[in-house]
Amino acid sequence: MSSIPLTDGAETADYYRPRVLHVPAGKGVVKWMSGDVYETMAPAESTDGAVGLTVCWVPPGGGPIAHVHRAADESFYVISGALEFLNGDQIFVANAGDFVFVPRGTRHRFRNRTGEQAHMVSFFTPGGGEGLWLEGGDDPVPGEKPEFWPSERGLALGPLLGRKEIDMVILPEEADLQGPADKP
């Protein structure tokens, strides 16, 4: 098979330059965020800001406080389990295999109201929102489980929320202020 030169020979075409990001399973940056476990596989700086991708494990009762991202859209793909999502002031359940797209400026949160851990992928477009747990989350402690944070611990993240790439506003529900969600 012959190949046809795609340039005039002066230099190699840019599409031959290796640029693919490959992060093997289990090689992301793991952080604990108020009981949840987040493994960021592609922080914004690794994708030139295009996307930030995180694999999430949400225990029964887990999930973030209701909030809005003003600078990015956030999407979710549920791998296993079921998660209750807030959409503005309405609620729906996303099950394994479901995709959820949250446009920037939409109040939302997810909550595991089942008795089983949920597993999903979350991504920001453009990337940057994952900086909240990369910088504000806890490093895992071998042999221990992540704990739900008291409200003071969550409030300590305030300075990160206003950063340009995170740009998040907390808009809690009454239940958000009482600790982990009750299971059914």
DSSP assignment of 3-72 equals ---SS-SSS--GGGS-------TT-SEEEEETTEEEEEEE-GGGTTTS-EEEEEEE-TT--PPPEEESS-
pTM of the entire structure? 0.88
What does the pLDDT read at residue 14?
85
| 147 in Cβ contact with 35 (< 8 Å) | yes
Interstrand relation of 36-42 and 99-102 (parallel, antiparallel or unpaired): unpaired
> Rounded to whole angstroms, how far apart are CA atoms 172 and 91?
14
> Rounded to whole angstroms, how far apart are CA atoms 107 and 104?
9
Interstrand relation of 29-33 and 108-111 (parallel, antiparallel or unpaired): unpaired
CA 142, 26, 71: angle at the middle one, nearest 5?
Answer: 100
**Residues 20-30, buried b or exposed e (16+ Cβ, 10 A)?**
eeeeeeeebbb
| 158 in Cβ contact with 89 (< 8 Å) | no
Q: Tens digit of pLDDT per residue, the chain (184 long)?
A: 555 555 555 666 788 889 999 999 999 999 999 999 999 999 999 999 999 999 999 999 999 999 999 999 999 999 999 999 999 999 999 999 999 999 999 999 999 999 999 999 999 999 999 999 999 999 999 999 999 998 888 888 999 999 999 999 999 887 666 656 665 5
| 52 in Cβ contact with 130 (< 8 Å) | yes
Which are the contacts of 184, defined by CB distance < 8 A and separation ≥ 6? Answer: 113, 114, 115
- Element housing 153 (H / E): helix 151-155
